Structure 1
Amino acid sequence: MTFDRRDLFKTGAAAAVVALLGEGCTSAAPVQGATLGFTAVPASLADAVAVPPEYQQQVLYPWGSPTGIAGSMPAFAPDASNSAADQAVQAGMHHDGMHFFAMGQDRGLLVMNHEYTDEQLLHTDGASPWTADKTRKSLHAMGVSVIEVERSSGGWRQVLPSRYARRIHGNTPMRIAGPAAGTPRMRTAANPAGDQVFGTFANCAMGVTPWGTYLTCEENFHAYFGGPKEAAVRATEAQRRYGTVPGSSWSEYWRFEERFDLTKHPNEPHRFGWVVEIDPFDPESTPVKRTALGRKHQESATCTLTKDGRVAVYMGDDSEFEYIYKFVSRDKVTPGTDAAARAANREVLDHGTLYVARFDTGGRGRWLELVHGRNALEAPNGFADPADVVVHARMAGDLVGATKMDRPEWIAVHPQTGEVYVTLTGNTDRGKAGKPAVDAANPRANNRFGGILRWREDGGDAASASFAWNHFVLAGDPKLPDAGVRYPRPDDDAFGNPDGLHIDSGGLLWIQTDMAGPRMGKGSHAALGNNTMLCADPATGRIKRFLTGPSGCEITGCVVTPDRRTLFVNIQHPGEVRVNGMPNSAWPDGKLPGSARPRSATLAVQRRDGGIVGT
C-alpha cells in the first residue's frame, strides 16, 4: 500500500509520520552502529543452527535442565522418565519469549516462557494412555523459568545453584488483580472470592515493565480446557468466541483435573488469557494476573512510557481476524528498577484505559476505548460491568469496530524514533467465502506469508488516540508473481511468516519466523528454507538473514544484552514435523533424527572478536 503524502500532512502530525512516508520505509533518523556488517547466512533445510562465520554460538538450558534451585536439581532423563516433581524444577518445554535482566556487566537473570508441550516427547510412553500424573507433568512443563547466568572467558554458563532460580508453572499459586478480580465471572468452587488461581500456561511472548518486572502472556490457554463432546451444543457465544468449547481441547486434562472441565467449572477459563506480572528478583513473590490489560490469546505486552510518565502496553491477539490492543495506565510510573521502585509501581497496571486499534485507509488509525458505558459497551449489549469488558475483550473489540488483523503477534517499539512494529504472521482464510475481505492494513487474500506493519503515534506520544501507519514488509518469496510480496529494498533477504520481534538498544530490528512445519521447504515456501532470524536496519530498510534453525523448529525469544555483545535466542520445538512417526530433528543432542529426543533450548550468540552483535 502507498501513502498519499498530502492527506498525511493535512493531519497536522507531520513530524510524527516522517518515518512512515514512501515505499522505502526509511526511519526518521539513522541509528548509530546499525551497519549489518555480518555475512548473511543462506536459507537452509539442514538440521542444524547456522550463524555468520564471524559469530559463535553455544547452547544453554535445554528442556529438562535443572533450573538451579538449591537442593532440587534432577538431571534430564533422555528416556523422558523424569517425574512430574522433577519437571517442576527443570527447564520447561518449548522456550519462547525471554528477557535478560542485567546484574552487572557479566551476570544477569534470564527469564523465559515455556509455551506448550509435546506429549509424545514429554512422557516415556507418549500421550496414550493419558493419566493424572501426565497431566501434572504437562502443567509443570509450561510456564516460566528464572535462571541466573554469567559470562566468563569461555562464554556464558548457568549459575548452579542460584538464590534467584525459580520455576513458575501450571500449578503455581497466583493472585488476580484489576477490574475483574473478585467479580462473579472469576469465582469458582475452589476460589469463591475470585481473587486467586493456580497456574499460568501457554506462555508465548512477553514484555518488561519500566520498573524491572517481567510480563508473561497466556496465549492458547483455550486448548487445555475440555469436556464431553456432547456438551458442545450448549457452548455459549463467549465460549465459542474464545475457543473454550467441550470436545475441542488439545489434551485430556479435564478427565483427571476437574477444574479443566468446562461443564463443571465454566468460569475457570476466565482466569486465563491474561498478562501475568512476575518479579524475577524475588523468588518468594506471588505472580499477579493483571486483568486491566484484557483477556485474549495474549501475545506480547510491550511497554513504553507516555510523554507525561505513564506506561503504555501494546498487545496482540494471536488468532486470525483478531485485534491489536493498547493499555495506558492512569497513574504515572515511579522511576527506577530497584526493589523500592518495583514496590511503588505494584498497582500501576491495575488502573487505566484499554484500547483496540482501527486501521483506516490513507495510512491513518485510531485507538478505540474499551470502557464500560462508552462506545455501546453497556448491559443491553452484554457488558454489565467493567469486568465484562476485560474478560470478553474480544467481543468488546467486535462491538466497537476494531480492524480484524492477520494474526497480530509480537510488538516492538523503536527506542530512538518511537515507531511501533508488529508482526502479522499470516491468514490463509482472508478473503474466503464467509470470511472478512482484504482491507487497507491486511491487503492480501490467502495471506500465506504474513508481514510487518508499523505505526507512529501522533505527537510521538504513546498516549495519543490516533496514529499513522504503513507496511514495513509484505513477506514471502519475491519470485512468486502473484504473492504481493514487497520488501523495503530489492536486495533484502526473503522470509515468511514473521513472529518474534525485538529492537535492541542500538535500533536494530531482529525478526524471527514461524513457518508451519509442513510448509517449510515446500510449495510457495520452498525457497525460504527452515525458520530463521533476520536483522534489519529500519533506517535503510536493509534486511539480512542472520541465523537459520534446525529441522521443524521455530525461532523465537530474542534479547540483546545491554552492552550489545551477546544475543540470546530460543530454538523452539525442533523435530516438530514427524516423518514415519519420528521427529525430523535430534537437535541439540543427536546428529541424526531418532538418535536423541529433540529439546528446545536457548542459544547465546556472540561475535568471535567480542564486537557488537548485528554488525
Structure 2
Amino acid sequence: MGFDPDDISSNRSGNTPFAKVVADRYSRRDVMRGGTVAATGFLLTGMTGTTVNAHPAKDGKSALLGFEAVPPSEEDKVTVPEGYSATVLLPWGHPLRSDGPSWAKDASNTVEEAAQQVGSHHDGMHFFPLGRGKDASEHGLLVVNHEYVDTTLLYTDGDEEMTQEKVDKALASHGVTIVEVRLVDGQWQVVDSDRNRKVTPTTPVEFSGPVPVDYPELQARDSQARGTINNCSHGVTPWNTYLACEENFNSYFGTDDGSWEPNQLQRRYGINSEGFGYRWHEVDPRFDVAQNPRELNRFGWVVEIDPFDTDHTPVKRTALGRVKHEGATVTESRARVVVYTGDDQDGDYIYKFVGDKPWRSVRAKGNSPLDEGTLYVARFDDDGGGEWLPLVFGEGPLGSDNGWTGQADVLLRTREAADALGATPMDRPEWIAVQPGTQDVFCSLTNGELGEGDANPRNPNSYGHIIKWHEKNGHNTATTFTWDIFVLAGDPAYDDAVELDEDSIFGSPDGLWFDPDGRLWIQTDVSNSVQNDPDAGYDNIGNNQMLAADPDSGEIRRFLTGPKGAEITGVITTPDQRTMLINVQHPGEETATIGEPTPQDPRAVSNWPDFDPDGRPRSATVVIRKDDGGVIGT
C-alpha cells in the first residue's frame, strides 16, 4: 500500500487529543528521552509508591539484558545477536498436515488447497503447552492470527481482474491457524494432529453478551453469522482460551452504487465505497455495503476460540465493545478478569473491560466472565492523572434522551459512545502489556497527526512513543490512574528531543510483550511508505525490528532485525523461556525506497525466507533459540 489507512482519523468528536494533554503537562525537553524518564516522571518520583529496581544495573548496563545489541539493518534477512539462531517454522502456505497440499511457489494453489494450508500475514500468536513439566516447553498448540493478504502475491496474475474464486482464496488465507508443534532433536516441527485447523471468515460463529445474534442491527443477508477477519493481535484468558481481535474490518467492504453514502455510524468506523481496494464487493454481495450494510456490524469484535476443542464454535464477546481491536490483553485483579484493548486508528481510544464478579465463580455457573462486566474508555488528564469512563447505557450522556436505545446500542456504537463521554484521542493505540509484579500497564502509540503545542508527541508524531500508567493502588480494576511517557521513539539526528543511541533507536512501536522475567519486548511497524527513507527521517533506523527494554532502568537494546518490507510482530516464549517465537509479516510488500512487486516480479522487494529464484516472499513464524540452550534475553 502506498499509505497506511490507519493514519487517517475518522474521529470528529472534538475531544482533547493526548498530544495536547502532554503539551499542557510538559515542556518539550521534559519528555522521556534515551530510555530514562525525566525527573517529572513517575518512575523516578515514585507515583507507584516506590521506585522499583528488581534488576539493578551493573557497570551501567541492565542485568536483564544479557545480549549484545544488533545494529540497524537494511538486509533481506532476520538477524539475531551472536549466540542465537533463528529458523523458520510456519510459513504462509505450509500444509496443516503432512499429507496436505504443498506450497505452490507460483501462487497457483487453489481455494481448496489454501483452506488446508497456513494462512498469510501472520500477526498475534500464542503457545499453549500440552503436557506438564519439561514437556510443557517442548510440545504445544501454536495459534497464529492472519491479518490480511497481499493481492499481488496471492494470485498468479494479481488482482487486476476480480473473481469469486479470488475472493474465496483470500478468505481462506485470513483468520486463525491452530497447529500442534513439538521440539524434536533440537528442532521444532509441525505435528500431524486432529487439532490442526483454521478459523476463517467463512467459519460459523456465535454472538454472546449484550449484543445477541438476533439483535436487529446484526441481521444481514446470510442468516448464519460467519467468520472472523483482519485478526491483528490477540489475548489469552486465565481459562486457557484464545482471543482473536478484529481490526480493520472496514477494509473489505465497498460498493459500486454511486448513490450510496455512508451514514454517521459507518463514517465513524471508516466505511467508504472503496475500502482498502480489495474490490471483493464487485463479485460477492456479502461485502457490498449498499446491498448488505448490516454485515459490517458482525465485525469489529473480540472472538474467543478454544484451541483444544475441535468442535468449539468461536464466540464474539460483545461486552468488550466494537472497535478496531489491536489486541485484548488479559490480566487478573482482585479475582476478576480485566481486558485492555487499543482501537488502532489515529485519534481513537484505549479501552478496559472489568468483570463484575470473580471469574472462577462465573465459570462455575456455566457463564462467561467476558459477558458480565463493564467496558470503560480512558481519559488522560494534563496533571498526570486519568479516569476510566464507563460505557453504560443510561449513565451520563448515554441515555435515551440522547438517542441511545440500550446497552447493545452503546456497544455496537462503541466509538460514538466514547466520543460522547469525552475520551482522549490517541496516536494510534496498539498493543498493551501488563508488567509482572507491579501490574503497571504499557501501550504503544505507533504514530499520529493530532498533535499540537510545543511538546512531544510531535505534530506529526511520525515516530510514535510508548506510554505507561499505574492503576490506583495497583488494582487493574480501579477507575483512576496516573500516567507518564515511557519512551519517545525516533532518531536524534532528526529530533533533538530524542536521545536513543545506535543500539536503541527505533520508530513506530507496535507489538509489546512482557516475558516472565520482566523484559519488555518492543516490536516495530514502520510503514513501508517511509521505511529507510531519509526524507522521512528513517534512513538510520533500518528495517523493522524487535528490541528488549528493562522497564526499571529504562535501558533498551535491539535484539532482532527483519527482512525488507516486513513488519515484526507477535512474540511469545515457551514456559521455560528457552524458545521464542516471533512473526515476520508481509516481507516483500511494496516499499517506496525499494520498489513494487508485480505478478511478473514478486521478488522486487524481498525473497525471504525461501530465496527461491522462482518463488515469492512469505510471511512466517520464526523460532529463536540460544545456542547454549539458555533463557532468551540473558
TM-score computed with the length of structure 2 as normaliser: 0.87
Q: Does 1:118 align with 2:150?
A: yes
**Residues 212, 342 of structure 1: 8 Å contact kept:** no
Q: Does the aligned pair in 1 maintain the 2:521–2:548 contact within 8 Å? A: yes
Question: Deviation at 1:3?
Answer: 7.8
Aligned counterpart for 2:72 among listed residues 30, 38, 43: 43
The match for 2:590 is 577
SS in 1 for 2:513: strand
SS at 1:269 equivalent: helix
Given that 1:48 and 1:549 are in contact with CA atoms closer than 8 Å, whether structure 2 keeps it comes out as: yes
**Letter paired with 1:352:** G
1:475: which partner in 2?
Answer: 489
| Aligned residue number for residue 317 of structure 1 | 343
Q: Describe how 1:393-412 pairs up with structure 2 within 5 A.
A: 393-412=414-433
What is the distance in 2 between the residues matched to 1:469 and 1:602?
A: 34
SS in 2 for 1:412: strand
Aligned partner of 1:507 in structure 2 is 518
Deviations 1:302-339 (A, max 9, x none): 001122x110000000000000000011231129xxxx
1:128-143 aligned within 5 A: 128-143=160-175
Instruction: Give 1:7's aligned residue.
Output: none
**Aligned residue runs from structure 1 range 25-424, under 5 A:** 28-31=52-55, 35-68=64-97, 73-103=100-130, 104-159=136-191, 161-181=192-212, 182-191=214-223, 196-228=224-256, 230-232=258-260, 234-307=261-334, 309-334=335-360, 347-424=368-445
1:421 match: secondary structure: strand
Once the 2 structures are TM-superposed, how far is the Cα of residue 346 of structure 1 from its aligned partner? Answer: 5.0
One-letter amino acid matched to 1:87: A
Gaps of 5+ in 2: 1-21, 28-40, 57-61, 131-135
Question: Residue in 2 aligned with 1:10?
Answer: none
Contact 1:454 1:472 in 2 (8 A): yes
- Hey, which bits of structure 1, 4+ residues long, moved more than 3 A? 1-4, 17-23, 31-34, 341-346, 437-440, 580-583
Matched position secondary structure for 1:613: coil
Query: Quick one: structure 1 residues 249 and 496, their matched pair in 2 at CA, closer, same or farther if it must change by over 3 Å?
Result: closer
Q: Deviation at 1:342?
A: 7.4
Q: Which of residues 551, 563, 566 is equivalent to 2:564?
A: 551
Aligned to 2:19: none
Whether the aligned pair in 1 keeps the contact of 2:351 and 2:376 (CA below 8 Å) is yes
Matches within 5 A, 1:473-552: 473-481=487-495, 484-485=497-498, 493-523=504-534, 524-552=537-565
Structure-2 separation of matches of 1:303 and 1:276: 13
Deviates more, 1:343-352 or 1:322-331: 343-352
2:451 counterpart of 1:451: no
Provide Cα deviations, 1:163-187, integer angstroms capped at 9, x if missing partner: 2111111111110111111211112
Can you list the C-alpha shifts for 1:188-228, whole angstroms capped at 9, x where unaligned? 2322xxxx511111000100011100001000000101112
Q: For each residue in 1:91-115, what CA deviation from the matched residue of structure 2 results, as whole angstroms up to 9, or x when unmatched?
A: 1110000001111231011101000
**Kept after mapping to 1: 8 A contact 2:221/2:286:** no
- The amino acid that maps onto 1:61 is L
Provide the rounded CA distance (Å) in 1 between the counterparts of 2:101 and 2:140.
Answer: 23
Which residue does 1:12 correspond to in 2?
none
Shift of 1:380: 3.4
Say which structure, 1 or 2, has more relative contact order (CA 8 Å, 6+ apart).
Answer: 2
Q: CA-to-partner distance for each residue in 1:436-472, whole Å, 9 max, x for gaps?
A: x4598x7321101001001110011111000011111
C-alpha distance in 1 between matches for 2:174 and 2:251: 13
Matched positions, count: 577
Relative to structure 1, is the Cα distance of residues 359 and 245 closer, same or farther in structure 2, using a 3 angstrom cutoff?
A: same
Quote how far apart the aligned CAs of 1:248 are: 3.3
- Whole-Å separation in 2 of the counterparts to 1:296 and 1:20: 35
Matching residue's letter, 1:355: Y
Once the two structures are TM-superposed, the CA of residue 492 in structure 1 deviates from its matched residue by: 5.7
Whole-angstrom CA distance in 1 between matches of 2:472 and 2:315 = 32
AA matched with 2:247: E
After superposing the two structures, state which structure 1 stretch, 582-591 or 196-205, moved more.
582-591
User: Can you list the C-alpha shifts for 1:2-47, whole angstroms capped at 9, x where unaligned?
Assistant: 789xxxxxxxxxxxx9646389x99624149952111110000001
User: What amino acid sits opposite 2:511 in the alignment?
Assistant: G
**Aligned twin of 2:630:** 611
Match of 1:430 in 2: 450
Relative to structure 1, the CA distance from residue 379 to residue 566 in structure 2 (aligned partners, 3 Å threshold; closer, same or farther) is: same
In the alignment, structure 1 residue 599 sits paired with structure 2 residue 608: no
Q: What's the offset of the Cα at 1:571?
A: 0.4
Structure 1 contact 226–246 (Cα < 8 Å) conserved: yes
SS at match of 1:28: coil
Q: Which residue of 2 aligns with 1:560?
A: 573
Is the CA contact 2:123–2:585 (under 8 Å) kept in the aligned structure 1?
yes
- Contact 1:450 1:498 (8 Å CA) reproduced: yes
CA distance, structure 2, for counterparts of residue 363 and residue 370 of structure 1 = 23
Instruction: In structure 1, give the amino acid aligned to 2:404.
Output: F
Matched letter for residue 179 of structure 1: P
Q: Distance in 2 between matches of 1:297 and 1:20?
A: 34
SS of 1:394's equivalent in the other structure is helix
Identity of aligned residues (%): 47
Displacement of 1:518: 2.6
CA contact under 8 A between 2:432 and 2:442: conserved in structure 1? yes
Cα 1:155–1:127, aligned 2, differ >3 Å: closer, same or farther?
same
Q: TM-score, normalised by structure 1?
A: 0.90
Unaligned runs of 5+ in 1: 5-16, 336-340, 432-436
Q: CA deviation at 1:290?
A: 0.5
Letter of the 1:563 counterpart: D
3-state DSSP of counterpart to 1:86:
helix
Distance in 1 of aligned mates of 2:111 and 2:221:
25
Write the distance in 2 (CA, Å) between the matches of 1:519 and 1:586.
Answer: 20
Q: Report how far residue 363 of structure 1 moved.
A: 1.2
